[in-house]
């Protein structure tokens, strides 16, 4: 699942390459992901250009010269490619934008979970999940006081709270594990069990993990925007059974539904 570090790196990679470049054509190849007609994308984008790219939470917003926005919520399995038109398309390539300079931006979604929207800026609130988002995880306005005040509204388990986009937007399954590891908090601890010091420590862990991850993912992106996720650098997520980088004990893994949680039982005690 693309999270704030991934999408921020994608935004930064794409902006200098496509902003201001005339669009030669646009095509929806898998209509189920688009909340508009196939013809609408081609008509809106052909001859236009992307003026700016923003990230808000787990959404990418492509501001068009027509005054509208192409909004993409990649959900769990959406990925982006920036490639030559000669490169063979991945299976489930859902949408393709071809630029006059000869490169393509492709949206690929193996499970067809993501969604694309064409809206005016005033219509962003009608995009599902957009209006309900809390402050972005990288927003400077998300101070410790704001974070802790919002945290007190959510009494559930910490992993669920961190991945709730209505609490703070941009954190997903992988980085929630990393944040809780740095904070030394068990993912199944309940927010109501946290002391004031632990709440403050959780806020600091969010900032520390984002500051650590952003340049790593951006550096990995320099080779090009590919289909892959960037997860090798993570310390506990996806590392079940491997040694904890702090204490050397085995990293635990719990799978519930389709979500995997990893943590260290020694460094993140339940009680």
> Known catalytic residues?
2-3, 58, 259
Question: CA-CA distance, 104 to 111, in Å (whole number)?
Answer: 21
Q: Which residue, chain included where needed, has tokens 């009680």?
A: 271
Question: CA-CA distance, 35 to 31, in Å (whole number)?
Answer: 8
| DSSP code string of 128-171 | TTTTT--SBTT-TT--HHHHHHHHTT--SBHHHHHT-TTTSBT-
The answer to whether residues 62 and 115 touch, using CB atoms and an 8 Å cutoff, is no
The answer to whether residues 268 and 187 touch, using CB atoms and an 8 Å cutoff, is yes
For residue 185 the two structure tokens come to 């908090």
Cβ burial, residue 138 (10 Å; 0-12/13-18/19+): buried
Beta strands at 50-56 and 104-109: parallel, antiparallel or unpaired: unpaired
Going along 74-229, which residue ranges are E strands? Answer: 78-83, 93-99, 104-109, 115-120
Give the helix/strand (H/E) hosting 64.
strand 59-64
Question: CA-CA distance, 241 to 264, in Å (whole number)?
Answer: 10
The answer to whether residues 252 and 265 touch, using CB atoms and an 8 Å cutoff, is yes
């Amino acid at each position: 699942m693309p999270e704030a570090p991934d999408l921020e790196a994608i935004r930064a990679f794409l902006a200098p390459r496509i902003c201001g470049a005339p669009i030669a054509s646009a095509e929806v190849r898998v209509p189920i992901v688009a909340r508009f007609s196939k013809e609408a994308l081609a008509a809106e984008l052909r001859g236009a250009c992307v003026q700016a790219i923003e990230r808000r939470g787990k959404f990418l917003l492509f501001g068009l010269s027509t005054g509208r926005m192409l909004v993409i919520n990649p959900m769990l399995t959406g990925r982006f490619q920036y490639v030559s038109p000669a490169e063979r398309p991945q299976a489930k390539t859902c949408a393709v934008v071809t630029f006059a300079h000869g490169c393509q931006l492709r949206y690929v979604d193996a499970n067809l979970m993501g969604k694309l929207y064409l809206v005016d800026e005033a219509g962003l609130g009608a995009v599902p999940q957009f209006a309900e988002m809390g402050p972005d995880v990288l927003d400077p306005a998300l101070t410790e006081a704001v974070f802790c005040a919002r945290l007190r509204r959510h009494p559930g388990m910490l992993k669920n709270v961190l991945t709730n986009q209505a609490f703070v937007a941009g954190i997903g399954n992988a980085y929630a594990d990393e944040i809780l590891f740095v904070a030394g908090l068990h993912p199944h601890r309940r927010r109501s069990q946290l002391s004031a010091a632990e709440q403050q420590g959780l806020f600091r862990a969010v900032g520390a993990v984002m500051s650590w991850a952003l340049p790593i993912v951006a550096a990995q992106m320099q080779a090009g925007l590919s289909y892959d996720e960037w997860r090798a650098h993570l310390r506990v997520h996806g590392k079940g059974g491997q040694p904890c980088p702090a204490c050397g004990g085995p990293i635990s893994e719990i799978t519930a539904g389709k979500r995997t949680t990893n943590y260290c039982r020694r460094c993140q005690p339940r009680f």
